[in-house]
Amino acid sequence: MKNTHRSIILWPESVSCGVSPNVSIDEHHSERAAKHVCGQLERFGLGREGKVFPISTRVEPIDPNYEEPKKSLFDIPYPYRTR
């Protein structure tokens, strides 16, 4: 089944997602599933521990016609790129 929606979660600085802004994005098979994930995080927090809660959550549809850009050698950061 193709994923149709994504959940987008903005976390406080205490959670490291490795990107800026501190956001995690997951794809889901339905809008209902994405909303459920957001609701659970808002209610119970990260890992259902009740200690760290998202700053904000939202659900967006996935454009079925969107294609990820192709990566080239020049998209790789310097320390890992060899000439």
In a domain, 78, yes or no: no
User: ∠40-55-27 over CA atoms, to 5°?
Assistant: 55
Task: Give 5 or 19, the one with higher predicted confidence.
Answer: 5
Q: Answer yes or no: is 44 within a domain.
A: yes
- Residue 74, in any domain of the structure: no
- Which range of residues forms the domain containing residue 42? 5-64
Domain count, the chain: 1
Q: Where residue 48 falls among pLDDT bands split at 50, 70, 90?
A: confident
**Bridge partners, residue 9, by sequence:** 24, 57
Q: Residue 38 contacts by C-beta under 8 Å, 6 or more apart in sequence?
A: 7, 9, 57, 58, 59
**DSSP letters for 33-81:** HHHHHHHHHHHH-GGGSSS---SEEEEEEPPTT--PPPP-GGGS-GGG-
For residues 30 and 42, is the Cβ–Cβ distance under 8 A? Answer: no
Share of the chain above pLDDT 70, in %: 72
23 domain residue, yes or no: yes
Residue 13 domain-assigned? yes
Q: Does 80 map to a domain? A: no
Of the two residues 68 and 21, the one the predictor is more confident about is 21
Band (pLDDT 50/70/90 cuts) for residue 81 is very low
pLDDT at 31: 94
Q: Is residue 27 part of a domain?
A: yes
Q: Say if 73 falls within a structural domain.
A: no
pLDDT, tens only, 15-38: 776 666 788 899 999 999 999 999
The pLDDT of residue 77 is 59
